[in-house]
């Protein structure tokens, strides 16, 4: 049996601002944006090529905005990924090299923290 992680809730204070950040600056695809009721709005965004999406919204999670740490994406070229983030106006770290990979780090407007990794094989 396959067990697939497909959705991670990311708590934010301003759904529209977060949606713009992830789509316009980071480059995620906007899959869904539905207001089910005044208390529930569901926004699903997916990084290009990913099988896992994030969910933003109102009533989606009771976690505190900005409290998510350790979200991680993997790319084939960290230098190109960093350049894309910089071009999008994202405040992203310099490339950091570790024995287990090359990384950059950034946070969304609420402070939810992301790592982007290029796996180094060899």
| pTM of structure | 0.95
> Is residue 2 in some structural domain?
no
> Is residue 1 in some structural domain?
no
Confidence of residue 121 (pLDDT cuts 50, 70, 90): confident
What pLDDT, in 10s, does the model give residues 34-90?
Answer: 999 999 999 999 999 999 999 999 999 999 999 999 999 999 999 999 999 999 999
Domain count, the chain: 1
Q: How many CB atoms lie within 10 A of CB 63?
A: 12
Residue 79: domain span: 7-61+68-118
What element of type H or E holds 98? strand 96-98
What pLDDT, in 10s, does the model give residues 81-106?
Answer: 999 999 999 999 999 999 999 999 99
Q: What is the CATH number of the domain that holds 106?
A: 3.10.180.10
> Is residue 35 in some structural domain?
yes
Q: Specify the residue for token string 């049996």.
A: 1
pLDDT score recorded for residue 17: 98
> Is residue 75 in some structural domain?
yes
What's the rounded Cα separation, in Å, for the pair 22 and 14? 12
> Is residue 55 in some structural domain?
yes
* Cβ neighbours of residue 51 closer than 8 Å, sequence gap 6 or more: 4, 6
Rounded to 5 degrees, φ, ψ at 12 are: -135, 160
> Is residue 112 in some structural domain?
yes
């Amino acid at each position: 049996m396959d067990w697939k992680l497909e959705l991670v809730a990311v708590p934010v204070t301003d759904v529209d601002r977060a949606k713009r950040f992830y789509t316009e600056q980071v480059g995620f695809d906007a899959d869904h944006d539905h207001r089910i009721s005044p208390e529930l709005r569901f926004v699903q965004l997916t990084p290009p090529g990913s099988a896992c999406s994030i969910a933003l919204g109102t009533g989606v999670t009771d976690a505190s905005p900005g409290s998510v740490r350790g979200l991680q994406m993997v790319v084939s070229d960290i230098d190109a990924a960093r350049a894309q983030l910089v071009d999008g106006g994202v405040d992203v770290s310099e490339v950091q090299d570790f024995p287990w990979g090359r990384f950059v780090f950034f946070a969304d407007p609420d402070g939810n923290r992301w790592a982007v990794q290029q796996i180094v094989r060899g």
